[in-house]
Amino acid sequence: MSHPAPPELTPRAVILAIILGVILAAANAYLGLFAGMTIASAIPAAVVSMAILKLLGGGHILENNIVATGASAGTAIATGVIFTMPALIILGYWDDFRFSWVLAIAGLGGLLGVFFSVPLRRSLIVEQGLAFPEGKAAAEVLRTGENPGSGLKVLAGAAGIGGLMKLAATSGLRLIPDTASASAWFGKTIGYYGTNLSPALFGVGYIVGLNIGVVMLAGGMIAWNVAIPIYSTYFLATDPVLSVELAGAGAEDAAYAIWSSQIRYLGVGAMLIGGIWTLFSLRSSLLSGIHSGLSAERNSDKVAIPATERDIPMRLIVIGLVLFIMPLMILYQAIVNQWSVSIPMTIIMIVAGFLFVSVSAYMAGIVGSSNNPVSGLTIATILFAALVLAFLLGRDSTIGAVAAIMIGAVVCCAACIGGDNLQDLKCG
């Protein structure tokens, strides 16, 4: 005799997810604006959820998963907002945050990310079997909380060691540094070596495995030990502004300045080409995912589908995307006040949204949401949008930069939610 599954979407789970989402989103917003980086919150949300639901009389693993999913979505959308919207204040277009605009952009971008992540689930999670390290880690936390045993001791021990490392680090008691580095000038050449001592990165490396870890290490070594020395030796003199800025600077400061202004874009370009190629190579898998989703929808009345294989019906996804076009056009029309610009930009935004959500989801599957380079995707979106807008509005347009930021904001929110949603689906 089969027992009915316990309820997942309970009122207390929804309320707790909202509360944790607000708190963790605020913390992530502060961290992102202060340090330029954010962290995925599914794991801490799962831990807090288990503790609170136990105090309320207990909670099962599915209910805790709903809380963790909702809370992580809140922090993901906050990441998309803080990486883009402050630019409108810096440009002088806003005097302060326009919360109605932020709500519209975050809502439209978030929904776009959810719509696009549905067909990606079968391709990236089921068929490709990507790691999605933070999704795996959150699942292990929930599983350990459901059935405490030897796994609880390992989890608690690892958490304790990580907590002590963070407490002793520069951000805490300042007993040990956050990084270990050495740098020096060798004539015109910068020599630099450095590593991050974050326990979170150690944990991600443990989860993603050797193959992915070696690729990430190779990328860092090429950037810092090859590209930066070559640029400082042969190309720095060709950039008078940067040369004046770095005159008399230490080797480490100079290395970071060259990386930030020049070398980082090598990584963005490589990531985009790799993402586009990956998307192209996954075309049959994506089409198969869409086809299997449509087939599952047609046969839903005839065949019982396991809960873990159910998706939002594809017809609803298509209807949602069609209905989605009008609010986006209205958003851009309110900025540029030209339908001849708003319509093509909306189309470009939908296409770019799917491309970058796919790349973001793929990167989240490899390195995790915390290390997902959505800032690079956003920069690429804004650059592309700026080129198109310069053609449509003219290079002297006073509103072109604002429109490009708005497009980048929607795509960034979509990419953040898309990667986070796939992470949560992997956990489930």
pLDDT in tens, 159-180: 788 888 878 887 777 777 777 8
Tell me if 172 is assigned to some domain: no
- The C-alpha angle with vertex 330 and arms to 325 and 336, in degrees rounded to 5, equals 120
One domain for residues 24 and 153: yes
Q: Is residue 115 part of a domain?
A: yes
Residues 238 and 362 in one domain: no
Burial of 399 (C-beta count, 10 Å sphere; 0-12/13-18/19+): middle
Place of tokens 């809380």: 67
Q: How far apart are alpha carbons 290 and 295 in whole angstroms?
A: 9
DSSP string, 86-117: HHHHHTTS-SS--HHHHHHHHHHHHHHHHHHH
Query: What are the Cα distances from residue 152, in Å, to 60, 156, 220?
Result: 16, 6, 34
- CB neighbourhood size of 184 (10 A): 12
**pLDDT tens figures, 187-203:** 888 988 888 777 777 77
Shared domain check, 153 and 32:
yes
Whether 221 and 145 map to the same domain: the answer is: no
Q: Is residue 5 part of a domain?
A: no
Let me know if residue 171 belongs to a domain. Answer: no
Do 397 and 422 belong together in one domain? yes
Q: Do 81 and 229 sit in the same domain of this protein?
A: no
Expressed as residue numbers, the domain containing 132 is 11-166+282-427
| 196: three-class secondary structure by DSSP | strand
Domain boundary among 219, 254, 281: 281
My answer on whether 414 and 275 are in the same domain is no
* Residue 242 belongs to some domain of the structure: yes
Distance from C-alpha of 287 to C-alpha of 60, rounded to nearest angstrom: 36
Residue 229 confidence class, pLDDT cut points 50, 70, 90: very high
Q: What is the mean pLDDT of residues 296-304?
A: 57
Same domain, 260 and 291: no
Which of 253, 281, 309 is a domain's end point?
281
Query: What's this model's pTM, rounded to 2 decimal places?
Result: 0.70
Residues 191, 183 contacting (CB under 8 angstroms): yes
Name the average pLDDT for the chain. 77
Q: How many domains does one find in the chain?
A: 2
Q: Are residues 299 and 413 both part of a single domain?
A: yes
Of 281, 315, 333, the residue that ends a domain is 281
Would you state the pLDDT for residue 1?
43
Question: Within this chain, do residues 190 and 248 fall inside the same structural domain, yes or no?
Answer: yes
Banded model confidence at residue 227, pLDDT cuts 50, 70, 90:
very high
pLDDT at 410: 86
Residues 275 and 291 in one domain: no
- Cα–Cα distance between 363 and 92 in angstroms, integer? 33
**23 or 152, which is more confident:** 23
Residues 277 and 294 in one domain: no
Evaluate whether 264 touches 377 at the Cβ level (below 8 Å). Answer: no
In a domain, 320, yes or no: yes
- % of the chain with per-residue pLDDT over 70: 79
